[in-house]
C-alpha cells in the first residue's frame, strides 16, 4: 500500500530540492532519501578520488533501494553482517594481501577489487550521518503528484459537431428562458467549429466572436459554462477588471491565453480549439477623465485586438506571468473563440437618450419617459451606443455578433427554481433525501421567493441567498428527529407569518414551527 502511494508522487532530491520531473532519475539512498545525479556528480568531484570517473563510481554504487545502504550479495536484497565487518576505507598505502587474493594491492599500495581496480569504499548510511549532525532526514520526500497520462485529443469532425438545434436543446435543460441568446450562441459556435473542421479553402471564413449584453444575474456566465461542458472543449474564464497594460501591476493580456492552456492540460493543439470567456468587459471602457494614463481601459482594448483577430502569442506554461524561470510556448489564437460579456451599467441611459432624440420634435413626439419601464432596453443597442459608452471602434469591429439577454421576470425566476436539471430546489431535495426526508414547496412559496429576488435586483443570484436564509433552520432541526418524513415550505413561512408543514413518518401532516 505504501509503495503504491509513493509511485503516484514525484521524488525530490535531498540536496537541491528539485522534483523528479526537473532533475531526472533519482538515486534512492533508503529511508525516503533521494539524490539526483547532478548532485551526486558534485559530491564525487568534491571527494577528488584519483582515477575514479563518475561512470565508474555509478557502476560501483550498490542498489540502495533494495537495502539499507549495503551492497546485496548472492542475489538477495539483504546484507551480511560478517561481510559488513570486512568493509573498510583505505587511506594511504597500509594493508596487506596475498598475491592470490582477488583484492590484491596495486602498485601504489592501495587495495584493488574485482571491478577494474577501483578502491574499496566503505558504504556509509546517510541517514545515520544526518541524524548525528542534528539534521533529521525528512520521512516524506514526496511532494508533487506525477502527471497522469494525457487524454487523447479528439479531432474535430464536421459530422460529429452538434447541429444548432441540438445545442439549443441541450442548453434548454440547464438555462431557462433567453431563447434568442441561446439561438444566437448555438449558431455562432456551430459555424465556428465548422470553420475549424473545414480548414483552409478557397473561401476563408472569419471568426464569429461574440459580445453578450445583459443585466447581472441573467445567465451570461452560466450559458457559456454550460455550452463548453456540452461540447467538451477547453474553457478559460477571465475577468477583465484585473487586466492592465503591459508593464503595469496586474495581469497581462496574454494571461487569458495562459489560463486556456492550463484548462487544456498544457496541450497546445487542444487549447487552440478552445473558448475564452472574458467577463466584465464593460470595465475596460475608455475613461472619461483624460488627465491620467488609462492603463486598464482603452490600453487593454488595444492590446486585445491581436488576440481577437488571431495571432501567435507566447505564453508561460504553468504560470500566470512571464519570467526567466518559466518555459514559454507559442499559441495561435486564430481558431480560439472569444466571447465577451458585461452588464454595461449606464448603457440604458445612452440608448434612451438616442431614442428620445429621434422622436422628440413635433406634435407626434413620444414622451421622454416612454422607455423608462422597458426591461429589455439593451436589445435596442447599436454600435454607436457602445462607442459612446467607451468601447473603441477597432474592438467592437472584432466582435461581429452582438446580442443581449433578457431581464429575468417573476415567471422565469419560478421556473429557474424548479425546472433546470440542477435546479436549486432539486439540490436541497437531494440533501434532505440523504436524511430520508422529502422536501416539498408550494407554488405560493415559489412566487414569494421570486418576488423577494426581484426586489434585490441581482437576478438569479438572489434565489440562492433567499433559500439559504429560509432553509437554515430546517437543515439544522431535521437531523434531530428521525421521525420526520416530509417538510413542506409554504408561502406563510416565506412571508414570516407561519412555519413549514412537518409530516411525521406514518402520521398525518401537522403544522410545525421552525
- Please state which of the ranges 28-32, 303-307, 384-388, 414-418 shows the lowest mean pLDDT: 28-32
The burial of 402, by beta-carbon neighbours within 10 Å (0-12 exposed, 13-18 middle, 19 or more buried), is given as middle
- Please state which of the ranges 148-157, 255-264, 319-328 shows the lowest mean pLDDT: 148-157
Q: How confident is the model at residue 110 (pLDDT cuts 50, 70, 90)?
A: very low
Amino acid 185: pLDDT: 92
Q: Cα(240)–Cα(231) distance, rounded to whole angstroms? A: 25
Q: How confident is the model at residue 451 (pLDDT cuts 50, 70, 90)?
A: very high
Amino acid 298: pLDDT: 85
Amino acid 368: pLDDT: 59
Position 303 pLDDT exceeds 80: yes
- Please state which of the ranges 231-235, 291-295, 318-322 shows the lowest mean pLDDT: 318-322
CATH 3.40.50.300 fits 164-404, yes or no: yes
pLDDT in tens, 315-340: 887 665 666 567 888 999 988 999 99
The 3-state DSSP class for residue 337 equals strand
The two domains 164-404 and 410-511 share their CATH topology (first three levels equal): no
C-alpha cell at 336: 480560439
pLDDT in tens, 403-423: 999 888 999 999 999 898 889
Q: How confident is the model at residue 295 (pLDDT cuts 50, 70, 90)?
A: confident
Position 79 pLDDT exceeds 50: no
**Tally of CB atoms within 10 A around 57:** 17
How confident is the prediction for the chain on average, in pLDDT? 75
Of 140 and 7, more confident: 7
DSSP classification of residue 376: T
What sign does the CA torsion over 377, 379, 382, 386 have? positive
Position 108 pLDDT exceeds 70: no
Q: What are the sequence ranges of the domains in the chain? A: 2-87+122-132, 164-404, 410-511
Amino acid 24: pLDDT: 80
Q: Mean per-residue pLDDT for 88-106?
A: 43
pLDDT in tens, 336-356: 999 999 989 888 888 888 887
Residue 312 β-bridge partners: 332
The 3-state DSSP class for residue 503 equals strand
pTM given for the model: 0.64
The burial of 277, by beta-carbon neighbours within 10 Å (0-12 exposed, 13-18 middle, 19 or more buried), is given as buried
Amino acid 83: pLDDT: 46
- DSSP characters for 236-298? EEEEGGGB--TTSSSB-TTHHHHHHHHHTTT-HHHHTT-EEEEE-GGGGSPPS--SS--TTTH
Q: In this structure, which topology does domain 410-511 adopt according to CATH?
A: Helicase, Ruva Protein; domain 3 (1.10.8)
Q: How confident is the model at residue 212 (pLDDT cuts 50, 70, 90)?
A: very high
Position 191 pLDDT exceeds 50: yes
Element (H, E) at 193: helix 179-198
Amino acid at each position: 500500500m505504501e509503495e503504491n502511494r509513493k509511485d503516484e508522487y514525484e521524488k525530490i532530491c535531498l540536496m537541491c530540492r528539485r522534483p523528479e520531473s526537473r532533475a531526472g532519475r533519482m538515486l534512492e539512498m533508503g529511508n525516503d532519501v533521494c539524490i539526483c545525479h547532478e548532485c551526486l556528480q558534485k559530491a564525487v568531484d568534491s571527494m577528488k578520488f584519483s582515477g575514479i570517473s563518475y561512470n565508474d563510481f555509478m557502476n560501483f554504487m550498490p542498489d540502495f533501494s533494495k537495502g539499507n545502504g549495503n551492497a546485496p550479495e548472492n542475489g538477495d536484497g539483504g546484507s551480511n553482517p560478517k561481510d559488513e565487518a570486512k568493509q573498510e576505507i583505505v587511506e594511504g598505502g597500509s594493508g596487506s594481501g596475498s598475491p592470490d587474493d582477488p583484492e590484491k594491492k596495486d602498485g601504489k599500495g592501495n587495495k584493488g577489487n574485482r571491478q577494474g581496480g577501483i578502491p574499496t569504499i566503505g558504504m556509509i548510511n546517510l541517514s545515520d550521518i544526518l541524524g548525528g549532525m542534528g539534521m533529521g532526514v525528512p520521512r516524506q520526500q514526496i511532494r508533487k503528484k506525477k502527471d497522469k497520462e494525457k487524454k487523447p485529443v479528439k479531432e474535430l469532425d464536421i459530422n460529429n459537431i452538434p447541429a444548432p438545434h441540438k445545442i439549443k436543446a441541450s442548453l434548454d435543460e440547464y438555462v431557462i428562458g433567453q431563447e434568442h441568446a441561446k439561438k444566437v450562441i448555438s449558431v455562432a459556435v456551430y459555424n465556428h467549429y465548422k470553420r475549424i473542421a473545414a480548414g483552409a479553402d478557397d473561401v476563408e471564413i472569419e471568426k464569429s466572436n461574440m459580445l453578450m449584453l445583459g443585466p447581472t444575474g441573467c445567465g451570461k456566465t452560466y450559458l457559456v459554462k454550460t455550452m463548453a461542458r456540452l461540447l467538451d472543449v477547453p474553457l478559460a474564464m477571465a475577468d477583465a477588471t484585473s487586466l492592465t497594460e503591459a508593464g503595469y501591476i496586474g495581469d497581462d493580456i496574454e494571461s487569458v491565453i495562459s489560463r486556456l492552456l492550463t484548462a487544456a492540460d498544457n496541450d497546445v493543439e487542444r487549447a487552440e480549439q478552445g473558448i475564452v470567456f472574458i467577463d466584465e468587459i464593460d470595465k475596460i471602457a475608455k475613461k472619461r477623465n483624460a488627465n491620467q494614463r488609462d492603463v486598464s481601459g482603452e490600453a487593454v482594448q488595444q492590446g486585445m485586438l491581436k488576440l481577437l483577430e488571431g495571432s501567435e502569442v507566447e505564453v508561460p506554461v504553468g504560470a500566470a506571468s512571464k519570467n526567466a524561470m518559466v518555459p514559454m510556448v507559442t499559441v495561435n489564437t486564430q481558431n480560439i473563440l472569444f466571447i465577451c460579456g458585461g452588464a454595461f451599467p449606464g448603457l440604458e441611459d445612452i440608448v434612451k437618450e438616442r431614442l428620445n432624440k429621434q422622436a422628440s420634435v413635433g406634435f407626434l413626439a413620444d414622451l421622454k419617459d416612454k422607455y423608462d419601464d422597458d426591461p429589455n432596453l439593451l436589445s435596442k443597442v447599436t454600435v454607436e451606443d457602445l462607442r459612446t459608452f467607451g468601447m473603441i471602434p477597432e474592438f467592437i469591429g472584432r466582435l461581429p455578433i452582438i446580442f443581449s439577454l433578457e431581464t429575468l421576470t417573476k415567471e422565469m425566476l419560478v421556473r429557474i427554481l424548479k425546472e433546470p436539471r440542477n435546479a436549486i430546489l432539486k439540490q436541497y431535495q437531494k440533501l434532505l433525501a440523504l436524511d430520508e426526508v422529502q422536501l416539498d414547496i408550494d407554488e405560493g412559496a415559489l412566487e414569494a421567493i421570486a418576488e423577494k429576488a426581484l426586489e434585490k435586483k441581482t437576478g438569479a443570484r438572489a434565489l440562492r441567498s433567499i433559500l439559504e436564509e429560509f432553509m437554515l433552520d430546517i437543515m439544522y432541526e431535521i437531523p434531530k428527529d428521525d421521525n420526520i418524513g416530509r417538510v413542506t415550505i409554504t408561502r406563510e413561512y416565506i412571508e414570516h407569518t407561519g412555519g413549514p408543514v412537518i409530516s411525521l413518518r406514518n402520521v398525518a401532516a401537522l403544522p410545525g414551527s421552525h
